[in-house]
Amino acid sequence: MHSKDIVACVVGARPNFVKMGPILRGIEACAPNVQTRLIHTGQHYDDAMSDSFFRQLGLPQPDVHLSVGSGRQGEQTAKILDSYERWLLDCEQTPAATLVVGDVNSTVGCALASTKLQIPVIHVEAGLRSFDRTMPEEINRVVTDAISELLLVSEPSGRENLLKEGKSDESIRLCGNVMIDVLRSQLDAATALDPLRKMGLTKNQYAVWTMHRPSNVDDPEQLRRFVDAMTQISQLLPVVFPVHPRTRNQLETLGLWQTLEATSTILATDPLSYHELLGLTSKAKVIITDSGGLQEEATALEIPCLTLRENTERPITVDEGTSVLVGHDVGLLVKLVDDVIENKFKQGKCPQLWDGSAGRRVGAEVATFMASRKNPS
């Protein structure tokens, strides 16, 4: 007879790996009657995007590895759904709930598989909306929230969005941002790596640039404009550019990779580990990115962030934090970099509940949810 309920906790891609550590520790601390199973779908499977994160962030090795690999959006999501459903049907003790994080294909695929088998879904980082249905992540967010029973939100806009979509008030809980738990706990380790010395950089005298979203990478003309802007900005500040694999493929296809390599003030690198990237971003003058996670980290670090998107599902980083939406306006991008250098850029603040304790609040809400299902009132 199994005495503890099992909650299957799903990771699949880099943003999930970062956030899962505080969640697992929070459940362990606050939900003694719950046992976790860590499920790795294998959506990201190369070392820099996966294994190094587990090592650096102190995550346990996955209990289950589904090894789905890459593929088109629909193909990959279908593989995840099928593989996770098979595991749910075959495992020794069926989980009492599935916990998913964020908005990647693993999030929606495992949520769908669970719901179809009447296993409740807990969604961490629920309610975030860009209101842009051209983004695959937005579809994943909307669908996952629609079928989740416990919705744990990271900022007040998440609650407002979910209420407008008809979710019940009692199913929504504001827990804060687990990404910031990781940042605060790992900052010393990241700084100790001293990536600035290794790369010949000086604190507050360089930019970090990342981009991977289809709207920025898949349009050849847009990518060319961004490479031109990067070259221009690198004359003002050296630019460190950790290159996502799909971005690099497109740059090489278009013959732009050689341009970057020929520019001495641009340091294009392979994908960096979490610690290496945090070590760089925490000492940067400015962060230029299309990553939601980096928007959040920049706000927590109070570093100017120029966001290469027309919209964001994390409006608090713009309203209260250090982010400005630049979209595809390269003229505005260069002007804002100039403003940062001249110290004319806006001041931001760290939002409420981005305090390093979100994982414990998630754990407490999971404990309450699981107890309520055992003893419905």
CA dihedral for 320, 321, 324, 325, sign (positive or negative): negative
DSSP letter for 237, please: S
Beta bridge mates, 98? 8, 121
How many Cβ atoms are within 10 Å of 255's Cβ, its own excluded?
Answer: 9
212 is catalytic: yes
From the list 197, 190, 201, the residue with the least C-alpha distance to 275 is 190
How many Cβ atoms are within 10 Å of 350's Cβ, its own excluded?
Answer: 17
From the list 334, 159, 93, the residue with the least C-alpha distance to 231 is 334
Catalytic one of 44, 212, 244, 275: 212
CA 213 remoteness from chain centre = 13
Q: How far is CA 192 from CA 235, 249, 262, 276, 280, in A?
A: 29, 32, 30, 10, 11
Tokens, residue 113: 């598989």
Rounded to the nearest 5 degrees, what angle is found at the Cα of 245, between the Cα atoms of 282 and 219? 100
Residues in contact with 287: Cβ distance below 8 Å, sequence separation at least 6, in sequence order: 207, 208, 209, 281, 294, 297, 298, 303, 304, 305, 306
**Residues with a known catalytic role:** 212
